[in-house]
Chain A
Amino acid sequence: MPEPRSPLGQPLDRADGVAKVTGRAKYAAEFAPPDLAHAVVVTSTITRGRVTACDTAAAEKSPGVLAVITPRTVPAMKAVPADLLPKGRPPIELRPPLADEKVSHFGQAVAVVVADTFERATAAAARVRVTYQADEPALTLEEAEPTAFEAETFVGREDLKHRRGDVARALAGAAVKLEAVYRTPVEHHNPIEPAATIAEWDGDSLTLHDSSRWVHATRRVAAGVFGLSPEKVRVICPFIGGAFGSKGFTWQQNLLAAAAARHVKRPVKLVLTRQQMFTLAGRRPETKQAVALAATKDGGLTAVRHATMSETSPLADFVEPCGTLSKHLYSCPNVEVTHRVVRLNRSSPVFMRGPGETPGSFALESALDELAVAAGIDPLVLRLKNHADRDEEKDRPWSSKHLKECYRRGDERFGWAKRDPKPRSMRDGNLLVGWGMATAAYPGIRMEARAKVRVTADGRAVAASAAHEIGNGAYTVLAQIAAAALGLPVDRVRFELGDSDLPFAPATGASQTTAAVGSAVTAAAVEAMAKLVKLATTDKASPLFGIAVDQLAAREGKLVSRADGAKADAFSDILRRAKLKGVEADATAAPGEEKEKFSFLSTGAQFVEVKIDPDLPRVRVTRVVGVYDPGAVLNPKTARSQMLGGILMGLGAALLEETVYDGRGLVVNPDLADYRLPVHADTSDIDVSFVNEPDRHFNPVGARGLGELGISGIGAAVANAVFHATGKRIRDLPITPEKLL
């Protein structure tokens, strides 16, 4: 009898696909507790200063209004707990909303109006009259540079200061050298679902239906801020309509909703408007990166210097860790990486897909392309020549790395060999054709997680952990992992997530859900299976009575003797005879000593073709080839979707996306017409493939995760292609038509 195919590696449809396209999937704002009231936030129209008066009289008299909450009337809130991370202060605002009358950025919450309907709350909110005393704001990196401070680590996880060898000396004596400054703008996550919360109090118990991609942290935040024990708070989030780095920890809307609900003694719903998503829900900071590279005549890197300046708000400490890849992506004896941060009067920044890797790889991979041009070497050859065979930052081996194979396959699939290196040399009719490439990389990260698994007498199983379905396919892939570990067909396994009553899971971020939660699911499944095995082998009525554990396998819902396939006992029979409804186990999985022995890095190769009308220079991306090594690919279908999403977001960052602050610090494009995301017509032929080699040092399923790998390197691959097409090197994103006129 052939082994049934493992559910791992199958291109299964999304478990939640039908629910999503038929509207049955319920998002945070779609729950409807009885007596629900609606809150609308009033935001500041100045950039820095203080509120001198807030006239709420007209709003309070507006029909249906239950309350107008200002810093003077807001229920007491303590600071957000500072110990949400294993190490270091969380990079978010610890000041609870409406804590004082200071304004530190445009679009800050200054009041909240609660009414019986959303429309009436909105109408009343427009009648709140706020008067300000405006102070001089800090608006640009250049202006604020004298007050820059050095950042030591990224969320306590990654060193932001690294020095090896002697960069200055290597630069001074270099045969080939490149020094340039690269800039990337503020970007916003713009998930299609805005940040949303429904808060409901029952005595001193609080339930939040919240668009949170870390329900356990949101629970701790709410408990800390409202002085409750964590068991009194429940955070529920079965689906998230995209986050891309937003919606983690806490954002003001969940605390404001809870405060408003407490104030009006009714459940309250608060959904940010699209405009408010640009000032109250996080963003990627602006960066300015000075890169210096030195090489021998034949392109061997002798120095890498990557000095990043990014900005944060007066209210939170976030740093965009642009230089992290530069420490180890290439082999180089002399490396210097630093990060400085200034405070600007803008809303608080936070993680955004590939924090650091996205803008950082734009700088590093553009610089490498410039070096290739200067040295007269093919950009792909240059990268192969400088391939890092081990992690030279930590001086230890990679757990598993197949980047050379990614380059090789990408080269072939794209047809890179046919590239004429001379700029402006390739044409399609009247159009200039450009081919560019870059390396993609994202670390393999995995934090502690817990899961439980229950096998039931009907021959099915339920696995659960407080993870999140963020569009990533978590329901699907985590069920596949449980099914594989239990020897059950995947359609007999259901996964539960998105509820802080479930076992602890880390934030759905750092591309780790599959790796972290999947490991816990495997561990819990193994324990549940051990219980079943014990029941069967100690039960005289079982055909497996007395057989040693290591002689048993689980497949198709049965325990089977390895020696004699005819000896089998179905899970349902085992449980029925034991008069049990099910067996359950929970387990924690955490990284162990492998963390000190190996470095973990997912890598890939990105190839891009652009076509540009020389007179009307809009950049059109006509082809992308991406080949990736994220370890094992557990579901090629959802994995491909992740890569496509990353690539598209990368194309947006390369060509379109930019949040614009004007000379007064106002966001002037806070909607989806004026903040341009790529639309279908901007997409093209995108070819995604995987090397698919499991990383057994990393975790049992061998998957490093891939949510952020696809966006890495795309910005540079596009800019490099634009240079190849036009001979113009664009070092500040996005590459809009006026930069090529």
Chain B
Amino acid sequence: MTPFDYTRAEGSAAAVKQVSGSAKATFLGGGTCLIDLMKLHVENHDLLVDITPLPLDRIEATAGGGVRIGANVRNSELAHDATIYKNYPALSEALLSGASPQLRNMATVGGNLMQRTRCPYFRNGFSPCNKREPKSGCAAKDGYNRSHAVLGVSEHCIATHPSDMCVALIAFDAVVKTHGPKGERAIPITDFHLVPGDTPDRETVLEHGELITAVELPAAPWAMRSHYLKVRDRASYEFALASAAVALEVVDGVIKTARVALGGVATKPWRAADAEKSLVGQKPGAPAFAATAEMATKGVAPRQFNGFKVALVRRVIVRALETVAAMK
């Protein structure tokens, strides 16, 4: 770690001003991602503005029947919130499948949205990595890429977006609320994260110094029948090899609404919109689910060590849909 200054935020506006005023300042949430990367010298900041004192820690109902989640709500608190647990169960499951209890107790919603990839070449601090050091190359493409993405990749970056929470949020059409140097914004989460393209260092649409204040989930009665399924090597405490957040609304034996979002296999939280559309109007069951899984993995670009993810994520999609279809 290089030495840095630390200050506690005294209001959102002041925090935004402090961070946007200096290229080497940033927000500090629970610190579980940021401090780790600073210890590895992957990120170096002169100033950390601790935003956890800000009153952004509430989970409240919105007028439209949805939920507003403050950016500082801890991952564990959100996972165990009664409304979330009942109305958006895949979000609870996604959160609880992530990290460890200790980490979830520290990690915030804002920090989780902004967490960075686990690509070993990004994290080691010296290998060529376009994300860490633009135009330096990508060591992962021809390196050890078992954990890497097969969807949304580019010639410049194949790093996986690691979040579980975001996969559920994207299935539920969440909206990210921000407060930036230019005022407030509401960003649909599908637009929030960016695929790498030729600027893998740009991971979200946030501007420097723009603060996430909340995440809103619109009312979605069908979300009660949702499920998050995550496959990894060990039983707990590991990022996804492949995961899916799915939801089904079935009316009169026919699918009316479907959601299929993927984790562990893509460069950003991945919404398989075409696959969802293909389900609408179909009878829930093995043939429809298999076709959907096929469609969700169209355009995959596997590398030497991650080819298995294609078959694996298809099976994850099918199993998750079967599970939801069987829910009362």
Q: Which positions in A face B, CB cutoff 8 Å?
A: 45, 63, 119-120, 122-123, 126, 615-616, 618, 620, 655-656, 660, 662-664, 666, 668-669, 673-674, 676, 678-682, 736-738, 741
Residues of A within 8 A of B231 (CB): 616, 618, 737
Interchain nearest-CB distance for B310 vs A (Å): 10
Chain B, Cβ-Cβ closest to A677: B234
Is A119 a contact partner of B118 (Cβ separation < 8 A)?
A: no
Is B144 a contact partner of A738 (Cβ separation < 8 A)?
A: no
Of B41, B124, B143, B235, which one neighbours A682 at CB under 8 angstroms? B235
State the CA gap A673–B33 with chains docked (Å): 13
Residues of A within 8 A of B124 (CB): 666, 668
B277 on interface, CB distance cutoff 8 Å: no
Chain B, Cβ-Cβ closest to A735: B233
Residues of B within 8 A of A119 (CB): 1, 3
Of A45, A666, A681, which one neighbours B235 at CB under 8 angstroms? A681
Which of B19-27, B153-161, B312-320 forms contacts with chain A?
Answer: B312-320
Contact flag A738-B3 (CB < 8 Å), given A616-B319, A618-B231, A666-B127: no
Q: Mark B35-46, 1 if CB is under 8 A from A, else 0.
A: 000010100000
Is A679 a contact partner of B236 (Cβ separation < 8 A)?
A: yes
Is B1 a contact partner of A668 (Cβ separation < 8 A)?
A: no
Residues of B within 8 A of A45 (CB): 126
State the CA gap A655–B147 with chains docked (Å): 17
B327 on interface, CB distance cutoff 8 Å: no
Is A662 a contact partner of B234 (Cβ separation < 8 A)?
A: no
Taking A615-B315, A676-B238, A680-B236 as known contacts, 18 extra A-B pairs with beta carbons closer than 8 A to each other, sorted by chain A number, are: A63-B3, A119-B1, A119-B3, A123-B1, A123-B3, A620-B235, A656-B233, A664-B139, A666-B124, A666-B143, A668-B124, A673-B238, A679-B236, A681-B235, A681-B236, A682-B234, A737-B233, A741-B308
Residues of B within 8 A of A741 (CB): 308, 311-312
Is A663 a contact partner of B234 (Cβ separation < 8 A)?
A: no
B252 on interface, CB distance cutoff 8 Å: no
Is B241 a contact partner of A679 (Cβ separation < 8 A)?
A: no
Residues of B within 8 A of A662 (CB): 143-144
Interchain nearest-CB distance for B299 vs A (Å): 21
| Interfacial residues of chain B within 111-169, with CB under 8 A of chain A in the complex | 118, 120-121, 124, 126-127, 139, 142-144, 146-147
Residues of A within 8 A of B142 (CB): 663
Contact flag A679-B143 (CB < 8 Å), given A45-B126, A616-B315, A666-B127: no
Chain B, Cβ-Cβ closest to A615: B315
Interchain nearest-CB distance for A431 vs B (Å): 13
Is A679 a contact partner of B311 (Cβ separation < 8 A)?
A: no
Chain B, Cβ-Cβ closest to A619: B233
Contact flag A669-B120 (CB < 8 Å), given A655-B233, A662-B144, A738-B312: yes
Is A679 a contact partner of B234 (Cβ separation < 8 A)?
A: yes
| Interfacial residues of chain B within 237-256, with CB under 8 A of chain A in the complex | 237-239, 241
Of B144, B233, B236, B238, which one neighbours A660 at CB under 8 angstroms? B144
State the CA gap A680–B100 with chains docked (Å): 11
Residues of B within 8 A of A678 (CB): 234
Task: Determine which residue in B121, B234, B239 has the highest number of CB atoms from chain A within 10 A of its CB, and name it.
Answer: B234
Residues of B within 8 A of A681 (CB): 234-237
State the CA gap A567–B241 with chains docked (Å): 74
Interchain nearest-CB distance for A260 vs B (Å): 20
Chain B residues with a Cβ closer than 8 Å to the other chain, count: 34
Is A668 a contact partner of B237 (Cβ separation < 8 A)?
A: no
Q: List 23 A-B contacts (CB under 8 A).
A: A45-B126, A63-B3, A119-B3, A120-B3, A122-B1, A126-B41, A615-B315, A615-B319, A616-B231, A656-B233, A656-B234, A666-B124, A669-B120, A673-B237, A673-B239, A674-B120, A679-B235, A679-B237, A681-B235, A681-B236, A682-B236, A736-B233, A738-B308
State the CA gap A192–B126 with chains docked (Å): 26
Q: Is the interface of B mostly helix, strand, loop or mixed?
A: loop
B2 on interface, CB distance cutoff 8 Å: yes
Of A122, A664, A676, which one neighbours B233 at CB under 8 angstroms? A676
Q: Mark B72-108, 1 if CB is under 8 A from A, else 0.
A: 0000000000000000000000000000000000000
Task: Determine which residue in B3, B236, B238 has the highest number of CB atoms from chain A within 10 A of its CB, and name it.
Answer: B3
Is B118 a contact partner of A673 (Cβ separation < 8 A)?
A: yes
Residues of B within 8 A of A673 (CB): 118, 237-239
Contact flag A668-B120 (CB < 8 Å), given A662-B144, A681-B235, A737-B241: yes
Is A737 a contact partner of B312 (Cβ separation < 8 A)?
A: yes
Residues of A within 8 A of B239 (CB): 673
Interchain nearest-CB distance for B237 vs A (Å): 5
State the CA gap A618–B232 with chains docked (Å): 8
Residues of B within 8 A of A737 (CB): 231, 233, 241, 308, 312
State the CA gap A737–B146 with chains docked (Å): 12
Residues of B within 8 A of A126 (CB): 2, 41
Chain A, Cβ-Cβ closest to B239: A673
State the CA gap A664–B139 with chains docked (Å): 10
State the CA gap A678–B232 with chains docked (Å): 12
Residues of B within 8 A of A666 (CB): 124, 127, 143
Interchain nearest-CB distance for A622 vs B (Å): 11
Is B315 a contact partner of A676 (Cβ separation < 8 A)?
A: no
Residues of A within 8 A of B235 (CB): 618, 620, 679, 681-682
Of A618, A656, A664, A674, which one neighbours B143 at CB under 8 angstroms? A664
State the CA gap A654–B127 with chains docked (Å): 30
State the CA gap A249–B6 with chains docked (Å): 43
State the CA gap A668–B119 with chains docked (Å): 9
State the CA gap A737–B231 with chains docked (Å): 9
State the CA gap A680–B236 with chains docked (Å): 8
Residues of A within 8 A of B308 (CB): 737-738, 741
Interchain nearest-CB distance for B188 vs A (Å): 31
Interchain nearest-CB distance for B240 vs A (Å): 12
State the CA gap A676–B238 with chains docked (Å): 8
State the CA gap A38–B127 with chains docked (Å): 27
Residues of A within 8 A of B126 (CB): 45
Is A674 a contact partner of B118 (Cβ separation < 8 A)?
A: yes
